[in-house]
Amino acid sequence: MRYVSTRGTAAELEFDDVLLAGLARDGGLYVPEAWPHLPTSALARYATMPYDEIATEIMWPFVDSAAGTLDHDAFVTIVRDSYATFDHPDVTPLVDLGDGTWLLELFHGPTLAFKDVALQLVGRLFDHVLHARGERVTIVGATSGDTGSAAIEACRDRDAIDIIILHPAGRTSEVQRRQMTTVDAPNVHNVAIEGTFDDCQDIVKALFADTTFRDRHHLSAVNSINWARVMAQIVYYAVASARLTAGASPVAFSVPTGNFGNVFAGYGATRMGVPVSQLVIGSNRNDILTRWLASGVLEQLEVHPTLSPSMDIQISSNHERLLFELLGRDGSAVVDLMSRFRAEGQAELDPALMGPVRETWSAARLDDDETIAVMRQVHEATGLVVDPHTAVGIGAARLARRDPGVPMVCLATAHPAKFPDAVERAMGERPALPARLADLFDRTERYAELPNDVAAVQRFVDDAVR
């Protein structure tokens, strides 16, 4: 398998290099040169197979390469170890919500958000490839919450990696901060920046822009545009289809969406042959994708904070991967569209292309009050407590569902204990921490506090990295 950039001019790469590269040199995102197809009757076999075996089978064609460092046996072990960290035997269990709707619970990993499904694998893949090449990297990232803890858990104690995560001091929830700062591993470094999340992101950008510094530390990232993260997420769409219908009839999915990585993986599953009748994009008040699907126009507005902060995004990076497919895999057409969007804050896709898009894709938006109402309704009807992101997906599914005869799978992207304030507002009481986090408030925190200053962060990294 080789990978091409959505902007058409970067070198084609094989899996190991795509894994480590993140963004392509032409500013695009890597996608497989062709979508592999699942073997006939694969989904029928998957109906009763363990998650890790399905995952290995689905991902191997993406990983397999002549020049790569991963052989099949090593990959089997990496995948098995990745999903052994999940505390449910099905890894991503399905829960019946009634009326032919289902929850696909993606939050049984170490940090209780769906990002673990991809990052547990990506951390191990990084470590394997770096060891094989005799290289090491320093991963830096900024977080407002979920991504930081999932990345830290994925990279902790891996000796080819140091990881440095910046968070805005006093602006993450205490659960989220403690999930990062109580990890006791020599290669994990947390920094509280006296500033906002945007300040943290600007510092990270400045670190990458300083080429001397970047090369000295072999800076790298595990952000959501990394192809390997999308690849790992394709698996649970196939698993849900296999368990519900053995692939014999279509399933619909509803996905609470921010950066578009998760729902794009659903699109990838359809390209591989998983029968999907509908992909629903759930938006909060930050609804660029919902507006795009209705009008064909991508228009950037300001970001509003909501109860579902992991979706408080106006530019969904992974959307470019879908645009590349819709534009007939024409990199120059993508460059044209994206540069108009960057320059003018808006760009329109050819209306003739939008008709076919709407045959599979739907979208719906929920504001915070509607999100709270869904949390209450789900609780009253089923006794289940869902987190606000998951509630957006369930609400969007209700608004957009076309065929009540087709099972609708709503992706549950976080455990409710990660968002205790929203749960308290909806339910009147705070959720209990699950067993794996029960002692979170007794653990010792470790983090540096630094001013909003690039040079101060550079000095910190120089000292911290072994």
Ligand X SMILES: *Cc1c(COP(=O)(O)O)cnc(C)c1O
| Residue list 113-132, contact with ligand X (CB under 6 A) | 113, 115
Nearest distance from C-beta of residue 387 to ligand X, angstroms: 7
By the rule CB under 6 A, 311 interacts with ligand X: yes
Nearest distance from C-beta of residue 332 to ligand X, angstroms: 27
By the rule CB under 6 A, 258 interacts with ligand X: yes
Query: C-alpha distances in angstroms, 294 versus 238, 349, 392?
Result: 28, 12, 18
By the rule CB under 6 A, 141 interacts with ligand X: no
Which of the ranges 22-30, 163-171, 181-189, 257-265 carries the binding residues for ligand X, by CB under 6 A? 257-265
Choose, by CB under 6 A, the member of 16, 52, 105, 146 that binds ligand X.
146
Question: Which amino acid belongs to residue 79?
Answer: V
Question: Which amino acid belongs to residue 263?
Answer: V
Known active-site residue 115: yes
By the rule CB under 6 A, 224 interacts with ligand X: yes
Neighbours of 143 (CB within 10 A): 24
Closer by beta carbon to ligand X, 24 or else 106: 106
* Side-chain-side CA neighbours of residue 49 (13 Å): 22
Considering the candidates 7, 108, 115, 158, report the single residue annotated as catalytic. Answer: 115
Choose, by CB under 6 A, the member of 414, 422, 423, 450 that binds ligand X.
414
Which of the ranges 251-259, 328-336, 355-363, 446-454 carries the binding residues for ligand X, by CB under 6 A? 251-259
DSSP string, 415-463: -GGG-HHHHHHHHSSPPPPPGGGTTGGGSPP--EEE-S-HHHHHHHHHH
Pairwise CA distance, residues 38 & 49, whole Å: 15
Choose, by CB under 6 A, the member of 413, 437, 457, 461 that binds ligand X.
413
Contacts of 247 (CB under 8 A, 6+ apart): 41, 42, 43, 44, 46, 47, 241, 274, 275
By the rule CB under 6 A, 257 interacts with ligand X: yes
* Side-chain-side CA neighbours of residue 5 (13 Å): 18
The mark string for 353-392 relative to ligand X (x by CB under 6 A, - otherwise) is: ------------------------------------x---
Choose, by CB under 6 A, the member of 30, 75, 260, 341 that binds ligand X.
260
Nearest distance from C-beta of residue 113 to ligand X, angstroms: 4
By the rule CB under 6 A, 102 interacts with ligand X: no
Closer by beta carbon to ligand X, 168 or else 247: 168
As a three-state string, the secondary structure of 381-396 is HHCCCCCHHHHHHHHH
DSSP string, 308-369: -GGG--SS-TTHHHHHHHHTTT-HHHHHHHHHHHHHHSEEE--HHHHHHHHHHEEEEE--HH
Which of the ranges 18-26, 155-163, 242-250, 260-268 carries the binding residues for ligand X, by CB under 6 A? 260-268
Closer by beta carbon to ligand X, 261 or else 331: 261
Closer by beta carbon to ligand X, 250 or else 416: 416
Nearest distance from C-beta of residue 389 to ligand X, angstroms: 4
**8 A C-beta contact, residue 311 and residue 283:** yes
Tell me the three state secondary structure of residue 66.
coil
Contacts of 192 (CB under 8 A, 6+ apart): 166, 167, 168, 169, 170, 447, 448, 449, 450
Which of the ranges 13-21, 94-102, 254-262, 402-410 carries the binding residues for ligand X, by CB under 6 A? 254-262
**8 A C-beta contact, residue 57 and residue 27:** no
Nearest distance from C-beta of residue 316 to ligand X, angstroms: 7
Neighbours of 94 (CB within 10 A): 18
| Residue list 3-62, contact with ligand X (CB under 6 A) | none
Q: Where do contacts with ligand X occur on this chain (CB under 6 A)?
A: 113, 115, 146, 224, 256-262, 310-311, 389, 413-414
Which residues carry out catalysis? 115
